[in-house]
Chain A
């Protein structure tokens, strides 16, 4: 809980907007503190297969997708500036004609999804890996998109 600094009324009245602005910042801080750790899932995503998760740190963007049963050879990934295109086909080999199905829940088909990225990425340095049916793409942020640290020189 934040304790607001008590300001003499006279002073507050002199700069009402500054006071409101300070309150707004406090409210935002409280809201951020409350919502921390609560991740919301966008159910259904954009309505396009596959569902994706996107994370970022200071240097990279990380895009992950669950693509079970898709051979890496049937997956096509292209990065272009601020977007990533994911296309492919999930093939389910037809079982022998003599078999009878009890359940058929898995689906086959093609997919194509384009994702807009929040920043420009270095398309030549992008890397992708596929393990246990999970695709992970590492997209290094373009130099101009990275926050630049400025060294302060002592005089």
Chain B
């Protein structure tokens, strides 16, 4: 893959209810893929660390929230091409997820979330003893 990356502005969350904290909230770019056993979600959240990340699964709604601590003051801004802000995104899952088996990893600003599916009940053959 030698495509050149394109500069893109971060997408802000369309206001759904008021935020208590001032500043923009962004929608992280995600990849979601599904295998037989699990659903995997990969999200770009630069600036988010482990302490400021919350992942919440309620019924079939998955919510990802990433807080970006305000950056230190670096003096006079000469130019600003991107803004810093929190991340927020919500998904509705159609599969049943094994809540106990969810694993999350955060590395270099990328969250990888693995959501194992609940295995469908296996048909069981019942032996009949005479």
Contact = CB atoms under 8 A, between A and B. Distances in A.
Interface stretch (A1-9, A12-20, A22-30, A48-56): A48-56
Given A71-B108, A111-B5, A133-B47, 14 more contacts: A51-B81, A52-B81, A53-B82, A57-B74, A61-B78, A64-B71, A68-B109, A69-B110, A102-B34, A103-B32, A106-B31, A107-B3, A110-B5, A133-B45
Interface of B: 1-9, 29-36, 39-40, 42, 44-49, 71, 74-83, 106, 108-110
Given A42-B80, A48-B7, A118-B78, A66 B34 contact: no
Contacts of A101: 31-34
B33 A133 contact: no
A53 B74 CA distance: 10
28 contacts: A39-B77, A42-B79, A46-B7, A49-B8, A50-B7, A51-B82, A52-B79, A55-B78, A56-B76, A66-B46, A66-B82, A66-B109, A67-B109, A68-B110, A71-B108, A101-B34, A102-B33, A105-B29, A106-B30, A107-B3, A107-B29, A108-B1, A109-B3, A110-B4, A132-B48, A132-B106, A133-B44, A133-B46
Please tell me the size bucket of the interface on A.
35 or more
Nearest to B77: A55
A35 interface: no
Contact of B46 (A60, A62, A134): A134
Given A100-B34, A110-B2, A133-B46, A54 B108 contact: no
Interface of A: 39-58, 60-62, 64, 66-71, 90-92, 95-96, 98-111, 118, 130, 132-134
Contact of A55 (B29, B31, B44, B74): B74
Given A66-B47, A69-B44, A108-B3, A44 B109 contact: no
Which of B39, B48, B75, B108 is most buried by chain A, counting CB atoms within 10 A of its CB? B108
The dominant DSSP class at the A interface is loop
A43 B81 CA distance: 6
A92 B59 CA distance: 31
Contacts of B30: 103, 105-106
B80 A53 contact: yes
Nearest to B9: A43
A41 B81 contact: yes
Given A68-B44, A95-B33, A41 B7 contact: no
